[in-house]
Amino acid sequence: MSFQWPIGFERCPKEDWAETPLEELALKYDTVEEHGWYDNLDTTVELLIKNLNTGDIIIDYSGGTGILSQRLLNTANRDDFGILIVDSSPKFLRLALEKFHDNEQVSFRLIKYLRDEKRLQLLDEVLTKEIIDYGIYMICSTNAIHLYNQLDETLTAWHRVLRPNGRIHIQSGNIRNPSAGEDTWIIDETVEHIHRAAMKIVLEQPEWADYAMALEDEEYMKSHDVLRDKYFLPVRPIDTYLDALTSSGFQIDKHMVKTIPAIVEEWYSFLSVYHEGVLGWVGGAERITGKKASEDVIEERKKLIRISMNRIFSEEDSFQASWTYIEALKSV
């Protein structure tokens, strides 16, 4: 029997974001689905399918352009459950809508920024009464929880929304986990190593001399350090998440770490989109200087990122990254 959304529920509300043209940033981001390191989603897909029942609604929280949802639909190959993609980026959600517009199993909700309160909406503020009354069985968050500034509030809202015995599935490659192998990387921490390698290269090699003086400007470099930490947040230990889950009323079911191989060229392709956050000090980041870098400077910035990656990964084609997976239950 095909899944049916609750009576009165709109798959996509009539909001401005749903009518805007597709944007280049979202299209570029969506290509990461083709990268080998995005196999980190496979374990989550397996766990979701294992616990999936007919009639269930899964919330793909921070679902972005719908990469996880697409993999789940393709692998499950069944139409008796629904997916609600929830995200705070109208650009990403717009692309998800484009991809699943004709798929009745998928619906969409934007997490809005409440300017007066200076915060994002919580999940129970986003969902309609029809969905909450119907009951949410699973919430998943992939490659995103490390970005949540309101971690406790977010998890508590999840707890309010889930029905008794509901499950959550969390995974991220940016959780410090003592169970990870010593030879593995936390994927976003590669950015700091790229930055350090780039500074050495600029000082050592004459072709980069135009950028060497920037390294002597302490205030300039500190401002770019702050910007880098906004793009790639400092990594928190696994206990931060386990403690937050427990204090929010969840019972930890299990957690584990897996090693996912990442192709250097594919990771470079991703980082080059966010070049201003990685090496914005090369030529100056627009957010700091107020001036947009020229195309030539941007190309040099990207080139230096690639050279720095060769150095930190010892010219290898791939590196091993660790991903942490957490399952938790809402107690009755």
Is 9 a member of any domain? no
Q: What is the mean pLDDT of each run of 10 residues along the chain (332 residues)?
A: 93 94 84 82 96 96 96 96 97 95 97 94 95 95 94 97 95 96 94 98 95 95 96 95 97 96 94 95 96 96 98 96 97 74
Shortest CA distance to 11 belongs to which of 126, 109, 140?
109
Q: Which of 149, 172, 195 is the last residue of a domain?
A: 172
Count how many domains the chain has: 2
Is 107 a member of any domain? yes
Is 182 a member of any domain? no
Q: Distance of CA 103 to CAs 54, 96, 97, 283, 284, Å? A: 17, 11, 10, 45, 44
Is 178 a member of any domain? no
The pLDDT score that the predictor gives to residue 78 is: 95
Q: Report the C-alpha gap between 327 and 9 in whole angstroms.
A: 29
Asked if residue 207 and residue 110 are part of one domain, the reply reads: no
Helices (H) and strands (E) in the chain, counts: 14, 11
The pLDDT score that the predictor gives to residue 124 is: 95
Asked if residue 89 and residue 46 are part of one domain, the reply reads: yes
CATH code, domain carrying 46? 3.40.50.150
The pLDDT score that the predictor gives to residue 43 is: 95
Q: Determine the structural domain holding residue 302 and report its residue range.
A: 187-229+265-318
The pLDDT score that the predictor gives to residue 214 is: 94
Q: Which of 147, 172, 197 is the last residue of a domain?
A: 172
The pLDDT score that the predictor gives to residue 35 is: 79
For residue 78, the SS3 value is coil
At position 171, the amino acid (one-letter code) is: Q
Q: Distance of CA 10 to CAs 57, 81, 104, 131, 208, Å? A: 14, 16, 11, 10, 55
Asked if residue 168 and residue 20 are part of one domain, the reply reads: yes
Asked if residue 145 and residue 278 are part of one domain, the reply reads: no
Question: Residue length, the chain?
Answer: 332
Asked if residue 296 and residue 160 are part of one domain, the reply reads: no
Is 201 a member of any domain? yes
Is 89 a member of any domain? yes
